[in-house]
Amino acid sequence: MEQFQWKDQYKLGIEIIDTQHKRLVQIIAELGDLIPSSLNSTGYKNKAKEKKALQKILDELTQYAHFHFATEEKYFSEFHYKRAKEHEAQHENFRKTIDSFTNKLATRDGQLSMEISAFLENWFKHHLLGFDRDYVETFHKHGL
């Protein structure tokens, strides 16, 4: 599996947000590193080890979402961003999806790491290149 990497096209030009987005890319890459090492021709080599590593990543994603979304939402409020509610709904969807993956991890075997990775890469590209790009002008007007 090709490792997900930061690209210049993801840069918003808002240092605090770009730094946080780079951290998400690092988490996605860590997940990608886990996938080839945890699989063999019949599935997972070590289910307990894979579950522990996935739980660590899900915990990091939960912490990331809390911190990053709080940062964005603080500025939405401070700058009276017109699409704040719509954007915050995207954040809530992310949180619920990560919670769902955490629940699945506790109750299911299988290739959950690949499912999480696919979700994160798709969400990152769609959210950052769509929703996040929409607030750049507002944030820049207020000095960020």
pTM of the predicted model over 0.85: yes
Reported in sequence order, the residue ranges of 1-143 that DSSP labels E, i.e. its strands, are 39-40, 43-44
Alpha carbon separation from 103 to 32, 48, 79, 84, 92 (Å, rounded)? 20, 16, 36, 29, 17
Q: Six-digit token pair at 57?
A: 């990543």
Q: What is the pLDDT of residue 112?
A: 86
Calculate helix-pair angle for 15-38, 47-79, nearest 10 degrees: 170
First to last CA, the chain: 36
Q: What is the pLDDT of residue 103?
A: 92
Alpha carbon separation from 39 to 47, 57, 112 (Å, rounded)? 10, 17, 11
Q: Six-digit token pair at 78?
A: 């401070």
Per-residue tens of pLDDT for the chain, all 144 residues: 578 899 999 999 999 999 999 999 999 999 988 876 555 544 555 677 888 899 999 999 999 999 999 999 999 999 999 999 999 999 999 999 999 999 999 887 557 888 999 999 999 999 999 999 999 999 999 999
Q: What is the pLDDT of residue 41?
A: 44
Q: What is the pLDDT of residue 42?
A: 46
Residue 86 CB contacts under 8 Å (≥ 6 apart), including other chains: 131
What span, in angstroms and rounded, lies between the C-alpha atoms of 12 and 101? 29
The structural domains of the chain, ordered by start, are 8-141 (1.20.120.50)
What span, in angstroms and rounded, lies between the C-alpha atoms of 81 and 139? 9
